[in-house]
Amino acid sequence: MRHDMLMTYKPIPEERVLEIVDDLFMPLVAAAR
């Protein structure tokens, strides 16, 4: 997210947020449980 913000100076699109949460964060949480 920081990389995207520093590259564009614009808010992160909603689809990018969903991608980060669903493709990166949630699988890591699931794997840790």
Partner 1 sequence: MVATEVPSFTASVWRATLTMESVAARAKTGVAVLYRRWPRKDDLVLDAIQHYAATHPVEVPDTGSLRGDMIAMLSSFSSVRVSFAAVISAVFSGLLASSGLTPAQVRESSSPTARFGPGRSTAAQPSAARSTSTASPRSSCPCRST
Q: Contact residues for partner 1 (CB under 8 A)?
A: 1-2, 5-6, 9-12, 14, 17-18, 20-22, 25-26, 29
Please state the closest distance from residue 24 (CB atom) to partner 1, in A.
Answer: 10
Please choose, from the candidates 6, 7, 4, the residue with its C-alpha nearest in 3D space to the C-alpha of residue 15. Answer: 4
Comparing CA positions, the residue from 27, 29, 24 lying closest to residue 4 is 24
State the nearest-atom distance from the C-beta of 25 to partner 1, in Å: 6
Q: How far is the CB of 31 from partner 1 (least distance, A)?
A: 14
